[in-house]
Structures are given as structure tokens and as C-alpha cells.
Amino acid sequence: MARDYYEVLGVSRGATDAEIKKAYRQLAMQYHPDRNPGDKSSEERFKEANEAYAVLSDPDRRAHFDRFGTAGPGAGPGFGDAGFGSLFEDIFENFFAGAPRGRRSRAVRGDDLQYELKITLEEAAAGMDTKIQIPRLEACEACGGDGIEPGNRLETCEMCHGRGEVRRSHGFLTVAQPCPKCQGAGQLNRNPCKRCRGEGRQRAERMLTLKIPAGVDDGMQLRLSGEGSGGVRGGPRGDLYVLLRIREHDLFTRDGADLHCDVPVSFSQVALGAEVEVPVLGGTAKLKIPPGSQPHEVLRLRGKGMPHLRQRGHGDACYRLVLEVPAKLSAKQREALDAFEAASRSERGPLMAAFVERMKKLLG
């Protein structure tokens, strides 16, 4: 009895052409002989997938299989007229994507590096120049970065004859892939540098001066081009990314260029008005509290916040009034508050008046 081609590809009988093609691509990539050298089981699965796709990708042959359970005329392990050319080009383009090709790919760009730098809010506001020490890979001093022991040179690979790739045939299909002996370089280093063991790089530390502009925020990155790890065999350096982390401040929280701070105040200060001393970056300033200010009201000192990054001007320093109620009262304080309460009973503030009105509506 013929194999169930739907079962071979792992799709349902109602699968679309796109679903059938996708399933076949995955199986072809997984079981291709070049990925499983010497594995007979994988080779059989690869052939089964080819046969199943040859049938199910052809509308007439698929209809015949659905009706009679056989592949119909022309069935077999070949590819028939199912349009495999473009499909296989697509598969093997992905299969060998990124593979080195010949001598042109010997030079490889160095890795990008990331360094985390913690600074204070004051440093972020003022900007600063600082020094950072970066561990990275540098070109080997002994071999100049080519990985060859001085006095020697690379030899042409005898397997690929310097082409960097070998070709293998599977029936009608010929596949080019990187040479396994020279890894696609086309040349062999038979005398690797003793200091770097042929890598062409060695570990080192570099001291860099970093300029942090005023107004940077937490999580921002500064890019230093060409300050990452050195490239392989003469390849260019990678880049260095400095990730800025701003330490938590004792008094301020930040919202863009604005700074926020809670200021404890007494009842008399918000009721009568007052002038209090508040913190600003780098010192203190006077904040005027208007008479009749309310708890949690926010007052601003314009231009006393963070500088705008690469722009003129500053944000604001914002102060939220937090009413502090005494936990204990002296006899004199209690007497004064009793007198104030007695004098205020006939007068209702707008908040109390609105609350009473809502209570009346609720109770009918």
C-alpha cells in the first residue's frame, strides 16, 4: 500500500499549498544528507519527503492520490514537474546562508561590546568626562593579527584548491558548500602563531575617555565607533556601546527633564502661606506656598530641573505638598485647634460642601 503522503509531510488532508511547501522545506532542511552524513535513516526520510512533495504539490497527482490512495502516473522518488527548481534554490540559499566563501571572507569584523556605567543624577545633569577601562580582544602583537607564526605563510588548501568550497552531487542536484578542511578560507594555516594560537587576537584592556553630555537619561546608550573587539585576520573593529544607569536619588524622581520631590508641610503653612527651603540639584532654593494651598498640590520652580539633552533650557523642579499631622499635641496646641474648629463650624470649604451635597443625594 502506498505511503500516506500527508502523514509523511505532517500535514492534514485539507492543507493549503503554502502549508505543504512549508512542511516540505522544514523536512528537507532537517534530513538533507549534507547535514546528516552517513545517516541512512535521514537519507530515507529525505527521499520520502521528496516523493510526497512531488505528488502533493501537483494538483492532478494530488487529486488522484486523494481519490485512489496512489500517486498515479509518473509517481516515484523523482521530482517530476512540480517546480522544485525555485524551491530548492530557496532552501539551499537558507541552508548555506552566512557560510564563508573563499578568501574574500577571511577578514571578519570584531564583536560589538557593551559596558554598563552607573552615574549619579547630579552627574547626569551636569555632564561629565570620565575614564573607563574596557577588556577586549586586540590584534596579536606577535603575528600582527594574521594568526601565522612569524616567518611562515598560508598554504593553498589541497581539498578545494583554494576555491573555499566543494561541490557534491545528489542525483540531479549539485550543491556547493564551504570546504570542510579550510572552513571556506581556501587556505590553511599550518603554522599558527604560538602566542595567540592562530586566533590573531589576544586579550587586553584599554583605557578610554568618555564624554557624557548633560541631560542623559537612564537606559541611554553612547556608541563609540571602532572601540569594540579587534577583527579577525585584519577585519575592522566592532563598536563599543556604553549603557548609562542613573542611581536612585534620595530626594528626587525624574520624569523627562522634570524633577519631582515630596515636601512635608504643616497645616498652618498651607493655610496661612509660607516660604520654605527646598532642595534643588547642587543646593537649595526658596519655595513660596500660597495661602490656602491644598495637600498634594504641586508647586513648581521653573527651570530648576534637568537640562534638555542637546537642547537649550531646563525642565522644572516640582514639589508635592504632603500635609504632616502631628501625632501628639501639647495642651496649648489642642486649645488653639479647638478654638479654630469652633470658629469654623459655621463655614464649609468647597470640598466639604460638595461632599455634603453628594451625601444628601445618596440618602434621598
pLDDT-based confidence at 35, cuts 50/70/90?
confident
In sequence order, what are the residues at sequence separation of 6 or more whose Cβ sits closer than 8 angstroms to the Cβ of residue 139?
145, 200, 201, 230
Residue range 128-140: mean pLDDT, rounded: 93
pLDDT greater than 80 at residue 285: yes
112-131: pLDDT as tens digits:
999 999 999 999 999 999 99
pLDDT value of position 77:
46
Handedness of CA 228, 229, 230, 235 (dihedral sign): negative
pLDDT value of position 244:
97
pLDDT greater than 90 at residue 346: no
Domains and CATH numbers, the chain: 5-95 (1.10.287.110), 253-357 (2.60.260.20)
pLDDT greater than 70 at residue 85: no
pLDDT value of position 171:
57
pLDDT greater than 60 at residue 75: no
The CA angle 309-120-240, to the nearest 5 degrees, is: 65
pLDDT value of position 103:
43
pLDDT greater than 50 at residue 99: no
pLDDT value of position 309:
92
Query: How big is the chain by its Cα radius of gyration, in Å?
Result: 38
Task: Give pTM, 2 decimals.
Answer: 0.59
Residue range 35-43: mean pLDDT, rounded: 81
298-320: pLDDT as tens digits:
999 999 999 999 889 999 999 99
**Residue 188 Cα to chain centre, angstroms:** 37
240-246 and 113-119 beta bridge pairing: parallel
Residue range 196-210: mean pLDDT, rounded: 90
